[in-house]
Each structure stands twice: as structure tokens, then as C-alpha cells.
Structure 1
Amino acid sequence: MDVLVPFAAGEPKTRLADVLEPDERAAFARAMLLDVCAAVDSAGGAPTVLSTADIDCPFPVIEDDRQLTDAVNAHLDAPMAVVMADLALVTPEALRRLFETDADVAFAPGLGGGTNAFCTRKQAFTVDYHGASIRDHRRIAKDIGATTATVDSFRLAVDIDEPRDIVELLLHGDETSHARKWVVEAGFEVARTDGRVVADR
């Protein structure tokens, strides 16, 4: 199955600015991208990076500097999946569960209302990534008469957007992954606070 992996090459991971410098954010984002593409490949998918700018990447790249919704809709050609580039806990097994569903459109929701990944077999399906996108995507699927499924997966639900998310990578990430190696080498470690564990540097 063809799989689009959207990637913001210009200003990646701006919400990590409190803990990472711009060059560090770029390096970390690329590490996650490589892990996601490798997992897609291992799951039997054919990853293509949908990047806002030219990048050095061992996988095929399409450049499109439009906003996420417009760029994805322009290149969405069912049957196809879309998997976000910051799913640092992703595994081939989790992706195979998504790819192998029988529904017309299968969703892997993110925490907080996002759509971290989906697979569509309906040509009429389109995306809208503004706001609580998982709600909007379910509505769009219903409007076109598509059957839907939800893939309940911790590894697909966690995306690394904010500093508090880094601890999930330290706790649950594959020790051989580019992303986990990067955060460890950058000096992050698990630390205790009064209420929860966090990633401290």
C-alpha cells in the first residue's frame, strides 16, 4: 500500500522550542521521520515523504509547501494510508493492524483529538486537519457512505509534539530507533516529579 508521510521541513516541532534549539528540533524531527518510514516499509507499505521543502532522505520525497490539509488532499489517491512523521513509538505491527482493516476508512486517533494515521479505500475521502480532526474525518467518511473502523493503538496514538511527550519515547521507545537514540544522546532522561515522571535534560 502507498503511504504518505507528511513532514514540515522548514520549522519542525516548534512546540519543542522550550527544550530544543532550532537545529536540534530539525535533527530530532528527521530522526522520527526515518523511524516512521522504516516502520511503514517493514509493515509492507511503500512510504513517500510529503515534505514542505527539499530534504535529504533515503525514501521517496514529494515537495509541496501548501498547508497540511491542502497538500494531503492533492496527493491522496486511494487505496492509500497517511501516517504522521512524529509517531516515534510506531511499530510495523501497529501499522499492519491499520493497513489490514476491512473498513473503507480506518483511523488511528491521536491523543487530544488529532488523526495520527488513517487508511482509506474510498477515493471520495478527503481530509481536514483543522481542530479536532478525528471528529471531522469521521463525519467526512459518514457523508460519503464509507464504512469506518478505529484502530486502538497506544503506539499510533502518541505523537511527539510537546516537551512532556518526550518521556513517552524514553519509557516506551525502541532502544535501537533513531529518535530514542537522539534524545538520549541529547541528554534527556526520565525524572520523577510529585505527580508524574517527566523527561529532564
Structure 2
Amino acid sequence: MEVIVPFSTDRPKSRLSDALSPEERREFARAMLDDVLDAVVAAGGDPRILATDAVDLDHPVTVDDRPLTTAVNAALGARLGTGGEDGAGIDGSLEPVAVVMADLALATPAALRRLFEAGRDADVAVAPGRGGGTNAFVATHPEFRVDYHGASYLDHREIAAEIGADFAAVDSHRLGTDVDEPADLAEVLIHGEGRAATWLRGAGFALDASEGRVAVTRE
């Protein structure tokens, strides 16, 4: 399955500016991206990075500096179209296409396989994020397009209904946890097993539960 992974190279993880310097944010964002790509490959996916600028990776990279919604919709249109040949299988049916965000530092092959399987059974399968966002999805319906503004999970469910697409929600803590705010770093330190967790520990981040709740500290 082709898996599009959007990645911002210019101002990655700006909401982590209270915890990380600009250079640290770039390094941490790249560590999360590498974790996501490893998980996608291990789950049997074929990752294609959709980046705002050139980035050195061992996977194909398409540069598109337009807003996320516009860039992802262009990628979906090229692959799903309206039944065109780009995404067609041997029998002329469209092959599923996944979009997985680059900041899912807890993503595992098992969690992604669940999403991929749901996307083979439904026209649109979405893994919602905390707060109603859309962290990952699989689409086969040629008319499905995204709108990442606001509570996008609800928007995508409505879009699927409007075009008559079968919709499935994939409830997953690992796919539902995107790393945007300093408080999210605790999730990576608790559950992370890849480069992102290693990077945080190497940068001096640790967990402190001395006051009865888990907090992130830095040496």
C-alpha cells in the first residue's frame, strides 16, 4: 500500500518552541519521521514523503510547499483521481492510499496494519487524534478529499457520508497520539521505543512522578 507521509521542513513542531530550540525541533521532528517511516515499512507499506522542501531520505520525496490540505488533496487526486489509471489495480479497481502524519512517534507496525486492514474493508478508514484531528487514514473512494482545519475527524466523516463512502474509525492510542505540545513529550518517554524517545533522553528529558503526577523535566 502506498503511504503518503506529510513532513514540514521549514518550521517543524513550532508549538514545541517552549521546550526545544529551533535546531532541536528540526532534529526531533526528523527522529519522529524516521520512526514513522520504519513502522510503515515494517507494516508492509510503501512510504512516499510529501515535504515542504527537499529532504535527504532513502524513500521517494515529493516537494509541495502549499498548505497541508491542498498538498494532500493534490496527492490524493493524482493517485485516486476519479477512477483514473494512476491508482488502479490489475482489475481496474482503485488501490487504497494511506496518509500518515510524520509526528506519530508512538506508531507501531501492528497499529498501522490495523489501519491498513480497515482501509481495505471500508472506502475510508480514519485513525482520529486527540481533540478530533485526523492523524492517519486510508482511502479508496475516488472522490474522497481532506480538510484538515479544526476537528477534521468529524469533517472527514461528514465528507465520506456526502460522497456515499463506507467509513470506519480505527481507535488506536498509538496512532491517536501526535506530538504537538510540550506535554505530549511525556507520551513519547513513557511509550516510545524508537529514535524519538532516544533523542529526548539524550537531550536530557526525563519523567518525574514525585508529586503524584507525571511531568517532563530536563537536566
Which TM-score bucket, shorter chain as reference? over 0.9
Cα distance 1:19–1:142, how it changes in 2: closer, same or farther (>3 A)?
same
Aligned residue for 1:183? 200
| AA partner of residue 49 (structure 1) | I
Cα distance in 1 between the residues matched to 2:24 and 2:60: 24
Query: Unaligned stretches of 5+ in structure 2?
Result: 81-95
Cα distance 1:128–1:195, how it changes in 2: closer, same or farther (>3 A)?
farther
User: How many positions carry a matched residue from both structures?
Assistant: 199
Deviation at 1:58, TM superposition (A): 1.8
| AA partner of residue 153 (structure 1) | S
- TM-score between the two structures when normalised by the length of structure 2: 0.89
Identity %: 59
| AA partner of residue 106 (structure 2) | L
Corresponding residue to 1:145 among 158, 164, 167: 164
Deviation at 1:67, TM superposition (A): 0.1
Aligned residue for 2:60? 60
> How do 1:18-33 and structure 2 match up within 5 A?
18-33=18-33
- TM-score between the two structures when normalised by the length of structure 1: 0.97
| AA partner of residue 17 (structure 2) | A
Which runs of at least 4 in structure 1 moved beyond 4 Å after TM superposition?
none
Cα distance 1:193–1:66, how it changes in 2: closer, same or farther (>3 A)?
farther
Indicate yes or no: 2:153 matched with 1:134.
yes
Indicate yes or no: 2:35 matched with 1:35.
yes
Cα distance in 1 between the residues matched to 2:135 and 2:141: 18
Deviation at 1:194, TM superposition (A): 4.1
Indicate yes or no: 2:141 matched with 1:125.
no
What SS class does the counterpart of residue 102 from structure 2 fall into?
coil
What SS class does the counterpart of residue 26 from structure 1 fall into?
helix
Aligned residue for 2:114? 97
Cα distance in 2 between the residues matched to 1:184 and 1:56: 25
What SS class does the counterpart of residue 119 from structure 1 fall into?
strand
Aligned residue for 1:108? 127
Cα-Cα RMSD = 0.9
- Highest Rg: 1 or 2? 2
Deviation at 1:44, TM superposition (A): 0.6
